[in-house]
C-alpha cells in the first residue's frame, strides 16, 4: 500500500460501498500498490462521467431536432489526451449524427488547393457535430515547427484563419476550440508509457519522437497562435491536461455550458469538478 494507505484511513459508508462495488473491486486490484483513495476517486469519476454523458445526449438531441451545426476542435501537444477526451464525449452519442475528423497529411491534389479547402469539406451539415482531432491549426504550430510548410505559407495562414473562423460562426455554426495543455515532464512520461505498451506503441510517430527536443519551438508557436486567434467569436478554452480525468470533465463542462439546449441540468453543471 502507499504511505497514505499505511496510515489509518477514515472511510465513510459510501466509500465502503464504492470499494465493494464491481467497478470498485476491479479498479482496486489494478493498482500496485493498493490505493484506496485513488480507487474511490476513479470510481466516482466514472459515475459522474456517466451522468455527464447522459447530458451530452440531450445536447445531441437538441442539435438534431433544431438542425444545429457544431464544430469542436481539439488541439494540444502530442500525448495531451485529445483522442481520449473525444472518445469519452462521443461514447454514447448517436453515430449517425456526429463525425470525428483526423485528417492525414495532404496528398498532392490537396497541396495545390487552398489550405482550408479540405477542412471546409468536413464541416457539419444541419443536425451534426464534427469533432476535429487536430484541425487547420496544424499550420499554426506542427507544420512550421517541423518544417512542413514555408514561412510564407505560415504567414498567409495566420492572416486568413480569423476571417475564416468568422465566416464559420456567421454561417450559424457553433465553434468550440480546445487546447489541451500538459507539462514537458508529463509528455515525457506518457511517451514512455506508450512505447512500453504493445497495444499503443504504434501511435508514436517521427513527429512525436522530436516533440521533447522541440519543446521550446512548440511553445513559441503555440503562444503566437493563441494570442492571434483568441477572438470573441472563436475563443480558446485552455484545458489543463496533466490529469486526464479532470481534463475530460472540464472539456464536457465547457461544451454543456456553451451549447444552448432544452432541459439543461443546471445543478449537475454547477457541481462540475467536485469529484475528480
Q: Does a structural domain hold residue 23? A: no
**What torsion do the CA atoms of 196, 199, 203, 206 make, to the nearest 10 degrees?**
50
What is the predicted pLDDT for the residue at 18? 67
* Residue 6 confidence (pLDDT) above 90: no
CATH, residue 195: 3.40.50.300
* Residue 200 confidence (pLDDT) above 80: yes
How many whole angstroms separate alpha carbon 274 and alpha carbon 227? 31
Q: Compute CA distances 239 → 120, 175, 275, whole Å.
A: 26, 16, 17
Q: How many domains does the chain have?
A: 1
What is the predicted pLDDT for the residue at 70? 98
Parent domain of 138: 66-270
User: What's CA 106's distance to the chain center, in Å?
Assistant: 23
Q: Does a structural domain hold residue 161? A: yes
Write the pLDDT tens digit of every residue in 153-167: 999 999 999 999 999
Q: Does a structural domain hold residue 31? A: no
In a 3-state reduction of DSSP, which class is residue 231? coil
Q: Does a structural domain hold residue 135? A: yes
Q: Does a structural domain hold residue 56? A: no
Q: Does a structural domain hold residue 54? A: no
DSSP secondary structure code for residue 111 in this structure: H
What is the predicted pLDDT for the residue at 117? 98
Average pLDDT over residues 198-223: 95
Cα angle 88-77-230, degrees, rounded to a multiple of 5: 90
Q: Does a structural domain hold residue 49? A: no
Q: Does a structural domain hold residue 10? A: no
What is the predicted pLDDT for the residue at 139? 98
Helix or strand holding residue 98 (H, E): strand 98-101
* Residue 29 confidence (pLDDT) above 80: no
Contact by Cβ (8 Å): 225, 140: yes
R_g over Cα of the chain: 21
What is the predicted pLDDT for the residue at 44? 87
DSSP secondary structure code for residue 32 in this structure: S
Write the pLDDT tens digit of every residue in 166-178: 999 999 999 999 9
Helix or strand holding residue 164 (H, E): helix 151-170
The set of cell numbers assigned to 39 is 480507487
Write the pLDDT tens digit of every residue in 211-267: 999 999 999 999 999 999 999 999 999 999 999 999 999 999 999 999 999 988 877
How many whole angstroms separate alpha carbon 74 and alpha carbon 183? 17
Burial level of 32, CB count in 10 A (0-12/13-18/19+)?
Answer: exposed
How many whole angstroms separate alpha carbon 254 and alpha carbon 174? 13
Amino acid at each position: 500500500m502507499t504511505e497514505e494507505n499505511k496510515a489509518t484511513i477514515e472511510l465513510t459508508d459510501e466509500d465502503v460501498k464504492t470499494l465493494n462495488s464491481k467497478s470498485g473491486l476491479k479498479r482496486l486490484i489494478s493498482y500496485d500498490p493498493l490505493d484506496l483513495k485513488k480507487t474511490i476517486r476513479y470510481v466516482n469519476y466514472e459515475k459522474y462521467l456517466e451522468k455527464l454523458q447522459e447530458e451530452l445526449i440531450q445536447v445531441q438531441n437538441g442539435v438534431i431536432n433544431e438542425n444545429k451545426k457544431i464544430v469542436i476542435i481539439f488541439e494540444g501537444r502530442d500525448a495531451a489526451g485529445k483522442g481520449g477526451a473525444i472518445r469519452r464525449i462521443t461514447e454514447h452519442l448517436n453515430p449517425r449524427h456526429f463525425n470525428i475528423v483526423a485528417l492525414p497529411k495532404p496528398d498532392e491534389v490537396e497541396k495545390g488547393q487552398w489550405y482550408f479547402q479540405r477542412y471546409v469539406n468536413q464541416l457539419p451539415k444541419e443536425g451534426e457535430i464534427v469533432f476535429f482531432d487536430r484541425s487547420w491549426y496544424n499550420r499554426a504550430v506542427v507544420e512550421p515547427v517541423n518544417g512542413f510548410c514555408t514561412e510564407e505559407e505560415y504567414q498567409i495562414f495566420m492572416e486568413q484563419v480569423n476571417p475564416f473562423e468568422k465566416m464559420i460562426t456567421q454561417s450559424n455554426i457553433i465553434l468550440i476550440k480546445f487546447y489541451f495543455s500538459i507539462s514537458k515532464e508529463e509528455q515525457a512520461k506518457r511517451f514512455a508509457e506508450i512505447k512500453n505498451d504493445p497495444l499503443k506503441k504504434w501511435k508514436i510517430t517521427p513527429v512525436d519522437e522530436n516533440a521533447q527536443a522541440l519543446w521550446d519551438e512548440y511553445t513559441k508557436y503555440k503562444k503566437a497562435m493563441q494570442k492571434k486567434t483568441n477572438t470573441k467569436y472563436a475563443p480558446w478554452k485552455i484545458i489543463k491536461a496533466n490529469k486526464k480525468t479532470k481534463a475530460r470533465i472540464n472539456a464536457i463542462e465547457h461544451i454543456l455550458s456553451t451549447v444552448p439546449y432544452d432541459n439543461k441540468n443546471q445543478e449537475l453543471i454547477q457541481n462540475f469538478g467536485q469529484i475528480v
